[in-house]
């Protein structure tokens, strides 16, 4: 009998701890989302730098127009490679349906102490399999890592300036990318390509976007 | 010499086959650019399939610069054939119809006659390549407007509009040099025969064989390939690399210039010794 009481107490204690951990993580996540939701429509200048081994493109400059909750329009001079979606949309995508939040402790991100929150979507069909967020004491998301079903994984590192809202001054998106080779008949590149990387070989790439001169509406 | 050149240019302008090249280029340019105008997004979709799964692609992909670059690829196969049609006939054609003997009776040295014909061939070659560039650019500008150039060559290169013009000048210059080798070769062969078909088919056959050998036996012939002129026909593409291999371009210029001199010298020597019996 004593054994059963001990076992029940043990299970209750740990499930209780788990519940409070999940609650804390959830409150952090919801707080961060709420802070992001407060961002009004804005326009700002951007500088975009792409770093992919087999893509050569110079820095691009332009403007970005943000409309709440997560719509982004770019006005770039010339052609540019940009992140597929804005960071706001990433956060909304993973948290709009049921999920489980876990608190995994604390870690320094760019010298700022952050709580680590892991988000596991409940929907098995969800495109996002897993998300991990590093949230600072002001409820700014400093870093996020997203693992998707079809499009691999990517990390977004956010650095903030002195703006009133949770808008970054620098965003670094790091992702996996496969090397690409096209038929010579399409590209005209009929030379021997021995020095090229094997087709489909994965490598890391990054896009760095600097934001400045925010004008909130 | 100037009079001779004028006569040769007049003769070339009077021949209907001179305009086949320009007509063909016009057709190729119109067909490709109109196809891109109608279904450009679908055509280009395959090329950008992989990239668009990772990136949001912002800005115009199909621009006048993109299409002019695409159309420069006809320099590899199509334009040499069109050049041979005219330059391959420049001596042998006259030899076949008997007008060469009449020309020889004029008080001009054989060297001057040969060089006038060679110069006419070169002028035709330059005109054809520039026509390709001009038509591609004008129609492309009209249909697609200006914009950055995206090149798929050992990766992806994106060039700003301000960084494109000098590359096209270099590429067209290199293309003209390559086509001058073809013209010199066919004029040289033309000096050996008395019928028009031989030099035209002969030059095309040499180009095809060398291209096939260079592609199929690329590894085995690696030490020899830098000295084969067909290897350098694609050197214009080097102007569209982010970091240009000037050494390779220099090598291309030297080798191709050497072939122009060699073919012209052989043709000239043969022409000077040639018995004109027809």
Q: Which of A58, A175, A189 sits opposite B152 (nearest CB)?
A: A189
Residues contacting residue B226 through CB under 8 Å, at least 6 positions apart: B251, B255
In angstroms, rounded to a whole number, what is the distance separating the alpha carbons of residues A174 and A152?
11
Other CB atoms within a 10 A radius of the CB of residue B8 amount to 23
Name the burial class of residue A3, with classes exposed (0-12), middle (13-18) and buried (19+) by CB atoms within 10 angstroms of its CB.
exposed
Residue A150 vs residues A99, A177, B230: alpha-carbon distances, Å: 19, 12, 44
Segment B71-79 shows an average pLDDT of: 82
CB B129 within 8 A of CB B75: yes
Residue B43: cis peptide before it, omega within 30 degrees of 0:
no
The string of pLDDT tens digits covering residues B135-149 is 999 999 999 999 899
According to DSSP, residue B239 is labeled G
Report the residue of chain B nearest A200, measured CA to CA: B50
pLDDT of residue A18: 47
pLDDT band for B267, please (50, 70, 90 cuts).
very high
| Residue-level length of chain A | 217
Condensed to tens digits (0 to 9), the pLDDT of residues A40-86 reads 999 999 999 999 888 889 999 999 999 988 888 899 888 888 887 77
> For the residues B18-32, what does the mean pLDDT come to?
92
| Residues A186, B56: C-beta atoms closer than 8 Å | no
Residue A113 scores a pLDDT above 90: yes
Q: Which chain A residues are within 8 Å of B55, Cβ to Cβ?
A: 81-84, 207
Model confidence at A216: pLDDT above 60: yes
The shortest CB-CB distance from A193 to any of B50, B70, B154 is to: B154
| pLDDT confidence of residue A190 | 60
Q: Which residue of B has its CA nearest to A153?
A: B54
Mean per-residue pLDDT of chain A: 81
Contact list in A for residue B153 (CB cut-off 8 A) is: 187-189
Flag if A81 and B147 touch (Cβ within 8 Å): no
Residue B250 has pLDDT above 50, yes or no: yes
What value does the CA radius of gyration of chain B take, rounded to a whole number of Å? 21
Residues of B in contact with A149 (CB under 8 A): none
Residue A121 has phi, psi (to 5 degrees) of -65, 140
What is the mean predicted confidence (pLDDT) over B95-116? 82
Instruction: Kindly indicate the confidence band of residue B19, based on its pLDDT and cuts at 50, 70 and 90.
Output: very high
Query: From the CA of B259, how many Å to the nearest CA of chain A?
Result: 21
* The pLDDT value given to residue B129: 94
Give me the residue from A55, A81, A192 closest to B155, CB to CB: A55
Domain spans of chain A? 21-98+152-186+197-216
* pLDDT beyond 90 at A158: yes
In Å, how far are A35, B5, B46, B214 from B222, measured between CA atoms? 63, 41, 33, 9
Could you tell me which of A39, A36, A164, A169 has the C-alpha nearest to residue A92?
A: A36
pLDDT in tens, B149-163: 988 887 888 999 989
d(CA B132, CA B145): 18
**Cα dihedral value B133, B134, B137, B143, nearest 10:** -130
Residue B173: pLDDT band with limits 50, 70, 90: very high
Q: How crowded is residue B219: how many other Cβ atoms within 10 Å of its Cβ?
A: 9
Name the nearest CA neighbour of A33 among A139, A138, A168. A139
Q: Return d(Cα B117, Cα B7) in angstroms, integer.
A: 10
The answer to whether residue A54 neighbours chain B at the CB level (below 8 Å) is yes
Cα gap B130→B124, rounded to integer Å: 10
Check: CB of residue A146 under 8 Å from CB of residue A118. no
Q: Is the dihedral of CA A59, A65, A68, A70 positive or negative?
A: negative
Tens of pLDDT, residues B202-221: 999 999 898 888 777 777 77
pLDDT at B22 over 60: yes
Q: By the 8 A CB rule, do A113 and A163 touch?
A: no
Put simply, the answer to whether B153 touches A56 (Cβ < 8 Å) is no
């Amino acid at each position: 009998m004593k054994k059963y009481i001990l076992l029940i107490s043990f299970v209750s204690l740990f499930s209780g701890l788990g519940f409070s951990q999940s609650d804390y993580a959830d409150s952090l996540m919801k707080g961060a989302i709420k802070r992001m939701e407060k961002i009004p429509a804005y326009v700002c200048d951007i500088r975009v730098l792409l770093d992919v081994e087999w893509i050569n493109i110079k820095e691009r400059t332009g403007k970005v127009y943000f409309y709440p909750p997560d719509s982004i329009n770019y006005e770039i001079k010339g052609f540019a490679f940009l992140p597929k979606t804005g960071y706001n949309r990433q956060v909304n995508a993973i948290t709009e349906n049921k999920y489980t939040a876990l608190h995994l402790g604390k870690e320094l991100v760019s010298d700022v102490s952050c709580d680590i929150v892991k988000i596991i979507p409940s929907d098995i069909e969800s495109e996002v399999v897993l998300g991990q967020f590093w949230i600072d004491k002001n409820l700014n998301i400093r870093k996020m890592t997203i693992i998707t079903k079809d499009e691999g994984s990517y990390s977004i590192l956010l650095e903030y300036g002195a703006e009133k809202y949770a808008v970054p001054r620098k965003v670094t998106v790091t992702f996996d990318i496969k090397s690409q080779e096209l038929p010579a008949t399409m590209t005209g590149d009929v030379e021997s390509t021995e020095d090229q990387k094997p087709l489909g070989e994965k490598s890391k790439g990054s896009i760095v976007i600097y934001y400045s001169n925010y004008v909130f509406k | 010499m100037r009079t001779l050149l004028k006569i040769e240019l007049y003769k070339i302008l009077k021949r209907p086959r001179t305009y086949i090249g320009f007509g063909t280029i016009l057709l190729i340019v119109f067909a490709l650019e109109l196809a891109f105008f109608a279904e450009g997004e679908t055509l280009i979709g395959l090329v950008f399939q992989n990239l668009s799964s990772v990136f949001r692609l912002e800005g115009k992909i199909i621009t006048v610069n993109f299409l002019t670059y695409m159309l420069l690829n006809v320099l590899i196969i199509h334009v040499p054939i069109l050049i041979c049609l005219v330059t391959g006939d420049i001596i042998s054609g006259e030899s076949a119809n008997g007008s060469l003997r009449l020309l020889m009776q004029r008080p001009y040295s054989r060297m001057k006659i040969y060089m006038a014909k060679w110069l006419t061939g070169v002028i035709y070659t330059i005109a054809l390549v520039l026509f390709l560039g001009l038509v591609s650019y004008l129609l492309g500008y009209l249909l697609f407007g200006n914009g950055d150039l995206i090149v798929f060559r050992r990766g992806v290169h994106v060039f700003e509009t301000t960084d494109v013009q000098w590359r096209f000048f270099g590429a067209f210059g290199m293309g003209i040099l390559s086509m001058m080798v073809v013209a010199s070769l066919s004029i040289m062969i033309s000096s050996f025969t008395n019928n028009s078909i031989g030099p035209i088919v002969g030059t095309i056959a040499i180009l095809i064989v060398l291209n096939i050998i260079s592609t199929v036996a690329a590894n085995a012939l690696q030490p020899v390939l830098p000295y084969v002129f067909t290897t350098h026909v694609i050197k214009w593409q080097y102007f569209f690399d982010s970091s240009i291999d000037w050494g390779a371009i220099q090598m291309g210029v030297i080798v191709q210039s050497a072939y122009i001199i060699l073919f012209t010298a052989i043709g000239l020597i043969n022409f000077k010794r040639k018995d004109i019996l027809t």
